[in-house]
Chain A
Amino acid sequence: MLSYSKPISIRTLLLTIFLLLMIFPMVVITFVTYKKENQIFQNQVSQFLAQTVQQTGKALDANLTEIDRLTWSLLYQRHLDFLDSPLNTPYQLQEANRKFQQTVFFDLFRGRLDHIRAVYFVTPDKIVLSTDNTYQWAKQMNEENYRDIIATVDNKPLKMHWFSESRSAFRQPVGFETSVRDSVVAVRKLIDSNFSELRGHLLVQLNDRFLADSLANVRIGSTGALLVTDSEGEVVYRQEAALLQNVAISNAVKSLPAQGSGTVKLEGKWLLSYATSDISGWKMTAVVPMDELLGANQKILQYLLIMAMLGTVIFVVISILMANAVSKPVIQLARLMSYTSIDHLHVREIQGSVHEIGILQRNFNRLMDRIQQLMQENERKEKEKREALLQTLQMQIHPHFLYNTLDTIYWMSKKHQAEPISKLVAALGKFFRFTLNAGQEWTTVEKEFGHLENYLLIQSFRYRDRVRYHIDLEPRAKDAAVIPLLLQPLVENSLEHGISNLPGGGEVRIDARRIGEQVVIRIFNSGNPVDLVRVEQVLQGDAPRDHVGLRNVQNRIQMAFGSEHGLVVEQVEGGTLVTVTIPFSRITGSENE
């Protein structure tokens, strides 16, 4: 479960920041670039399309103008020799036709014959002269179209007029399989400039190559197409393209304004750019699918996205590297500090590439060094203090006997056959041996009990058999480690405060048992019960200085075995029982030395 209160790791933080700083600008730049480019692209394509249409329109107009100008030689002060003779006989007609053909082929359209299907001249009497040798009669004309043509021409009699193929007055029979088709018709009225009399109408029937040569190779994108329509929406020329078969486009083209130029979007799918010719009145329309217009941009977007994805992968890798580079020393430092703060003060050698983190590491190392130094110092001081205290205690306990004197006494008693004295001196000797060697920190319960026995033996001489003692050591407890001379003050107290006041003497019982992981040592003395209040005062340190023995024992137990250990003094039937409880442990080699 996500916890918002949980602190974020520095690596996550850095990684997030790096990724955010790298990927966010990249996404924004990609998006903005795409949108902006899309907009610019559309504008440019629209402009380009409009320019293409206008340029193509101009080229077409130039083409139409050229055809027009080729007829200008017939307009002013020009003798039309094909109309010289009467046209009454077949030969006159034939001859006029021949001259007309010569005029057309060699004077007018010599350089454009590959674009001309046929040229007709219709006199006011509807006699037809033609380059088409099979076409000589007005009755072969489409009368209705011819009337329409003449009516249109008469509106502007000085200009050449252009008509779509469907409005042609002449149609050639299809004699051969051919790819050449009739196309537009140019019509000009010819008037005798001297007398302003109508000479006839010149009709130039052009073939489909006339328009195709200049328009077929015009590329409107890769799937766009060009369409030329007349003022009534009739198709004059269309490029071979499935696009132009679309009814919506056809209707849209028909609905475009009759004049002028412009660019419109159709149903959001196509872009139409149109321009109307002043010369022919034809409207040139370029249609291009929006998909195609934006296709290149879509492709660019795809590439941008691919680049962005690749970039993201690279940025993630770089971010991880960078985040690692920055965070690793910090994390290492943090781990080290956590580890150190638990229970270790060992300082690791850390080398970081980040200067500030290096300083932190060095300072932390110094800090750790200092703490360790202080702790060692403190430990040393504590040890010294404890040893001094121990020595003081031992010094308070030690009686001042001279060992050599005892030895002399021993031998003298032997010599004089004073057996009790020799026993006493022997015991006293053992007593001092143990006591003088008590500088050792630890001894065994068995040795401590041996020492107590010597002590009691000596004291039994003192008390002239008024002291009876009994020592019982359980074998499982004899190896237990114990501080030397720990128990002697307790036995001493038993004698001094218990038995010495009894006229008939008393009894001292000492035993040791191992119970679980603890060793329980009990010292019982018969006699008057001990004053427990006073004992408590002694243990608390409130008693006078001459009763320091019991408290020393208590302090020594707690210093050696911890505060949870110690001694218990209690009144029991017939006497006083002191119980010492210490943990069972064996003396290691170094402790025994």
Chain B
Amino acid sequence: MTRRKLTLWLSIAFGLMALWALGGIVFLDRNAMPKISDPTSNTIKVLIRTGTESSALRHLLEPFEKTTGIHAELIEVGRDGYFATVGTQLLAGSDTFDLVFMPNTSVAELASSGAILPLDPFINDPSLTDRETFDLEDFLTVYRYKDSIYALPTDISTHFIYYRSDLIPKPPETWEEVVALAEKFSQSRNPRSPTKWGLAMPAVVPEERTKIFASLLWTFGGDFIDDKDGHSLLGEPKSLQAARFMQQLLQRKLVPNDLLYWDFVKTRDALLSGEVAMAAPFWNAAYPMIRSDADSPLSSKIKIALLPGMKDSQGEIQRVPFQQGWTFAINANSKHAEWAWKFLSYATGKQGGELYVKAGGVPARKSILSDPAYTTTRPDFQLILESMKVAQSEPSITYYPSMVEIIEKALAKIYTLESKPEDALKEATNDLNRLTGK
């Protein structure tokens, strides 16, 4: 072997060893420790209230993730502290959630403070939204503040009358008829009544007491405030008439005396258990739940009808049921606003709407509500559309929570028979006018 050959062999040997050593370092470096992925890297969080809407929206999460690759997580907060949570966190600039589920009545307050983002930039961005598919005109309504859209509805709410069709073959058309039937089916008035109470309705705070009363107030011709100048109309005779009507129901024990503690669930369960013959005004959202309740023998006997009205001077029945939209808005401090918009547009879009229907929700899209495919499975849709023709929304005002608090306090006095309606509403009128500076 020559020196040259030996040198070549030694070079090859050292080369192999160096390759081996370097390969080992790289090999061990790459594979020694398992990689841990961050599951929160593409997640958006949705702040939502516990209720029918959250249970229905939960069914959208998986399809949404499959469609977009974005994981959406619901942060559920109980109904009692929900509005305080939403208002506090948004105004505190919290970024713990990207989307917030809220009623349309919160839009003005939160939009005016800059806590939620206007949606027009997202809607008008072709890379984010296909306007034709998204079909903005298909919404029953969109919620604006100062000409900008801030929230889109994913769920529409209105009030019906629920009645036991086995006891009441024909639903009452007017509140006088309701009272008459309540007399018949209240054991306090008719000991032979199969139901304890002729009528029931939710009256808890924070959201149901005022909203349920609103249907009565507007049907009787009253209102909370004047839309033009904001001064209180609670002291007006028609408003008083509505309040008196409610107090009479309590005084005559046609409704539960602890009505202030009745909420959506309790009212629904009272219908299913046969405790009450009628529930009105009561939320349309209860209907799919009642129909699907396999435990109650009464579920198929409970039917819905348009909320009763009042006959006008011509004998026509005037109905003014309450309506509101539960909407999605984007937290102004969201770090993933575009992802949030994707979820918002998915949940409020037609595809999301279809899934929402299957999960028992009530989408705010005309095309779905009027879809003949749902005539049999969701008969409430037609009634919702009919109700929506005459339904009224609460005023879109920035001081809505304060207004509601004043009204709730007045209604508590009326419902507990603590004060006469005129006294309670007078105080509320004064408080409202003080609030608005009128």
Contacts and interface: CB of A to CB of B under 8 A. Distances in A.
Given A91-B412, A133-B261, A299-B31, A111 B92 contact: yes
Interface stretch (B9-17, B146-154, B380-388): B9-17
Contacts, number: 150
Contacts of A311: 20
Nearest to B12: A321
Given A98-B412, A101-B80, A132-B80, A114 B31 contact: no
B77 A114 contact: yes
Nearest to A131: B80
B336 to A, nearest CB: 18
B75 A113 contact: no
A311 B27 CA distance: 14
A119 to B, nearest CB: 9
A57 interface: no
A62 interface: no
Interface stretch (A169-177, A370-378, A413-421, A532-540): A169-177
Interface stretch (B51-59, B126-134, B316-324, B365-373): B51-59
Given A131-B81, A207-B78, A91 B58 contact: no
Q: How large is the interface on B (under 10, 10 to 19, 20 to 34, 35 or more residues)?
A: 35 or more
Contact of B17 (A104, A209, A219, A318): A318
Centre residue among A132, A177, A306, A311 by max chain B CB count within 10 A? A177
Interface stretch (B82-90, B137-145, B222-230, B428-436): B82-90
A434 B3 CA distance: 67
Centre residue among A114, A180, A352 by max chain B CB count within 10 A? A114
A176 B52 contact: yes
Contacts of A324: 1
A114 B49 CA distance: 10
B294 interface: no
A89 B84 CA distance: 27
A392 interface: no
A353 B54 contact: no
A222 B20 contact: no
A69 to B, nearest CB: 18
Contact of B50 (A131, A180, A303, A353): A180
B265 A134 contact: yes
A117 B78 CA distance: 6
Q: How large is the interface on A (under 10, 10 to 19, 20 to 34, 35 or more residues)?
A: 35 or more
A48 B260 CA distance: 54
A118 B78 contact: yes
Contacts of A322: 9, 13
A94 B80 contact: no
A13 interface: no
Contacts of A104: 81
B412 A94 contact: yes
B422 interface: no
A187 B266 CA distance: 28
A192 interface: no
Contacts of A131: 80-81
A358 B47 CA distance: 89
B34 A318 contact: no
Interface string A114-137: 101110000000000001111110
Interface string B7-37: 0010011001100100110011001111010
A78 interface: no
Interface string A436-458: 00000000000000000000000
A89 B413 CA distance: 11
A300 interface: yes
A329 B78 CA distance: 91
A385 interface: no
B179 to A, nearest CB: 22
Interface in A295-318: 295-296, 299-300, 303-304, 306-307, 310-311, 314, 317-318
B258 interface: yes
Nearest to A322: B13
A353 B3 contact: yes
A89 B416 contact: yes
Nearest to A132: B80
B286 to A, nearest CB: 11
Interface in B63-93: 74-78, 80-81, 84-85, 88-89, 92
Contact of B2 (A95, A306, A351): A351
Chain A binding site: helix, strand, loop or mixed by DSSP?
A: helix
A296 B34 contact: yes
B399 interface: no
Interface string A322-342: 101100110000000000000
B17 A91 contact: no
Contacts of B85: 113-114
Contacts of B12: 321
A117 B79 CA distance: 9
A439 to B, nearest CB: 55
Contacts of A117: 78
B348 to A, nearest CB: 21
Given A98-B409, A134-B261, A321 B9 contact: yes
Contact of A307 (B2, B24, B258): B24
B204 interface: yes
Interface in B260-312: 260-266, 268-269
B13 A318 contact: yes
A105 B265 contact: no
Nearest to A180: B76
A516 interface: no
Contact of B84 (A105, A178, A296, A306): A105
Contacts of A176: 50-52, 54-55, 265
A72 to B, nearest CB: 20
B382 to A, nearest CB: 25
A3 interface: no
Nearest to A177: B55
B233 to A, nearest CB: 24
A76 interface: no
A128 to B, nearest CB: 11
A516 to B, nearest CB: 55
A317 B16 contact: yes
Sorted from nearest, which 8 A-B pairs have the closest CB atoms? A175-B265, A91-B418, A177-B55, A91-B416, A133-B204, A113-B85, A90-B416, A105-B84
Given A135-B261, A177-B55, A296-B33, 7 more contacts: A90-B417, A110-B88, A113-B84, A134-B261, A176-B54, A303-B32, A307-B23
17 contacts: A91-B419, A110-B84, A114-B47, A114-B96, A116-B81, A175-B265, A175-B268, A176-B55, A177-B58, A178-B50, A295-B34, A299-B31, A307-B28, A317-B16, A321-B12, A325-B1, A353-B3
Interface of A: 89-91, 94-95, 98, 101, 104-106, 110-111, 113-114, 116-118, 131-136, 173, 175-180, 207, 209, 217, 219, 222, 295-296, 299-300, 303-304, 306-307, 310-311, 314, 317-318, 321-322, 324-325, 328-329, 351-353
